[in-house]
Structure 1
Amino acid sequence: MSLATTTVGAGEPDVAFAHGLFGQGKNWTQIAKALTPGHTSLLVDMPDHGRSPWTERVDYPGYADLVAETLAPHAPLDLVGHSMGGKIAMQVALRRPELVRRLVVVDIAPADYRGLSAFGDYVAAMRAIDLATLPGREAADEALRDGVPDPVVRGFLLQNLRRASAPENWRWQMNLGLLGDQLDRLGEWPATDATFDGPVLWVAGAESDYVRPEHREAMRALFPRVRSVRVKGAGHWVHSEQPDAFVRTLRAFLDA
């Protein structure tokens, strides 16, 4: 299974990006452009997201193996992952360490998050939209308003809405059925005895509660060379809320 990718910059990619739940590789475009001309970035659509193929089961090791296959022709690379993509990136580093030169994990930990996020509400709101009678994006935005009150989050989710042929006027580009049904599996963290001995940067939003003090021991056990940074004025979406600070932090690590 070949995952969809976009390259930003000239030459062979030396850094790859993995996005979060309901995102797409293109969500990293601003950050990737800011890294040029010093770096060429590979933006990967995760399985069941964007233009990548759909699977039959949400599974972090399985997702990681598919991402590893995509990265292998360009390896070794620096790998950056946010949220769900951060868990996938950690799994890639643990399962295929020869592919990863340096690892950046953004606002997520190797921990169980089941029931702790608002994504269940987002799924319910998206599923409630009648795609067969939906007149357009403005109507979809209005339909999501109660379940997704934040307009920035609504805009993020609506990036996945695409025109379709009959019997429906619209479709969700991501595999909403599978991801919604197996949302708890996305909150899990599979047990492993593996470690990754390369350099790891753990970036958290100072206003986010995804990375907590009790996560440090588990993170260091898997990634002995980890160092952490908290970005002021940022919540869970660190790279979009504080892009300049995030790029400075990322570039300092990649260019060290």
Structure 2
Amino acid sequence: MTVKLAYEAMGDGPPVVILHGLFGSGRNWASIAQALSGSYRMYLPDARNHGASPWADTMCYSHMALDVLELIDREGLQRPVVIGHSMGGKTAMALALEYPHAISGVAVIDIAPEAYADQFSPYVNAMRGLDVAAATSRREVRQALACRLDVDAPVDFLMQNLQRHNERFDWRLNLMATAVCMQDLCAFPSELLRQRYPGPALFVAGEHSRYVRPESRAGIVRLFPRAQLQQIRDAGHWVHADEPEALIQALRGWLAETIPLPATS
């Protein structure tokens, strides 16, 4: 069943949709969207089971692509460009491969159309293992979460999912569904590997990230024959946080090629 995604929007111009990654929300991309909003109407949806969007039992990429398609239809967006990071990048690829005529182009940030090892179940298990309803402060929850995870775990990023509801803390992320669907989230739908997206595509990788490897290029170009590949120096997987200005420059240049803006008098 399709989920009606919550979203925020800003700016004016041709429509651009940005899809966030696992454990995130649309607000993670607000500064990037703001930088582009002078030329484009930017849409920042929360994925199913994330942020303010409804919860659902499934999280396969075909279903999440349909969620985005429903948003496009609901808001009457005329073939938007779709940008996606990590989980959102896989959703964007699924949308492009299954419904190519619904979009004008796709930009994928630091992810490839391939399966990855599960690195995220320890985060989900740690979050599920906390009795956050009994906590008296965010600091208490953060300390308990940090104690359960490795020192390099993105604790502050995960803590963005903690909310106070009716005088008690809870997680706005659907941890149960995320745990059950982790295999789907780490994979890429095998049926989509037979598809091709003929439109413009941009793949951006962080220099220090291991998600887009040199051997990933062949798989990318096979599915997205018009793909441009760029690398952002000094960035890891969270390119938009590590080197936001470089990413904005890359997106702005590619968007200008993909959606020519009307000339100003």
**TM-score normalised by the chain length of structure 2:** 0.90
Partner residue of 2:185? 186
CA contact (8 A) 1:125 1:148 kept: no
Q: 2:232 and 2:210 mapped to 1: Cα distance?
A: 13
Q: When the two structures are aligned, how many residues end up with a matched partner? A: 250
Letter in 1 for 2:92: A
**1:86-101 pair list within 5 angstroms:** 86-101=89-104
Q: Deviations over 1:63-121 (max 9, x none)?
A: 11111111232131111000000000000111111121111000000001133x2x122
**1:100-139 pair list within 5 angstroms:** 100-115=103-118, 117=119, 119-139=120-140
Shift of 1:149: 2.6
Partner residue of 1:41? 42
CA contact (8 A) 1:12 1:74 kept: no
Q: 1:141 and 1:106 mapped to 2: Cα distance?
A: 28
Q: 1:128 and 1:52 mapped to 2: Cα distance?
A: 23
Shift of 1:58: 2.0
2:163 aligned counterpart, secondary structure: strand
1:17 aligned counterpart, secondary structure: strand
CA contact (8 A) 2:48 2:59 kept: no
1:80 aligned counterpart, secondary structure: strand
Q: 1:185 and 1:95 mapped to 2: Cα distance?
A: 17
1:33 aligned counterpart, secondary structure: helix
Letter in 1 for 2:210: D
| Percent identity (aligned) | 39
Partner residue of 1:70? 71
Q: 2:82 and 2:249 mapped to 1: Cα distance?
A: 16
Q: Deviations over 1:162-207 (max 9, x none)?
A: 11238xx211101111102221210011022221111111000000
Partner residue of 2:84? 81
Shift of 1:13: 5.4
The yes-or-no answer on 1:170 pairing with 2:174 is no
**TM-score normalised by the chain length of structure 1:** 0.93
1:34 aligned counterpart, secondary structure: helix
CA contact (8 A) 2:21 2:85 kept: yes
Shift of 1:12: 5.6
CA contact (8 A) 1:122 1:148 kept: no
The yes-or-no answer on 1:216 pairing with 2:223 is no
CA contact (8 A) 2:79 2:104 kept: yes
Partner residue of 2:6? 4
Give ranges in structure 2 of 5+ residues lacking alignment.
258-265
Q: 2:89 and 2:207 mapped to 1: Cα distance?
A: 17
**1:51-70 pair list within 5 angstroms:** 51-70=52-71
Q: 1:41 and 1:50 mapped to 2: Cα distance?
A: 18
Q: Deviations over 1:8-64 (max 9, x none)?
A: 21x365110000001001111000011121112000111111111111112110111
2:133 aligned counterpart, secondary structure: coil
Partner residue of 1:235? 236
Q: 2:26 and 2:9 mapped to 1: Cα distance?
A: 10
RMSD: 1.4
Measured at CA, do residues 19 and 135 of structure 1 come closer, stay the same or move farther in structure 2, by a change above 3 Å? same
Q: 2:38 and 2:10 mapped to 1: Cα distance?
A: 10
Point out 4+ residue stretches in structure 1 off by more than 3 angstroms.
none
2:35 aligned counterpart, secondary structure: helix
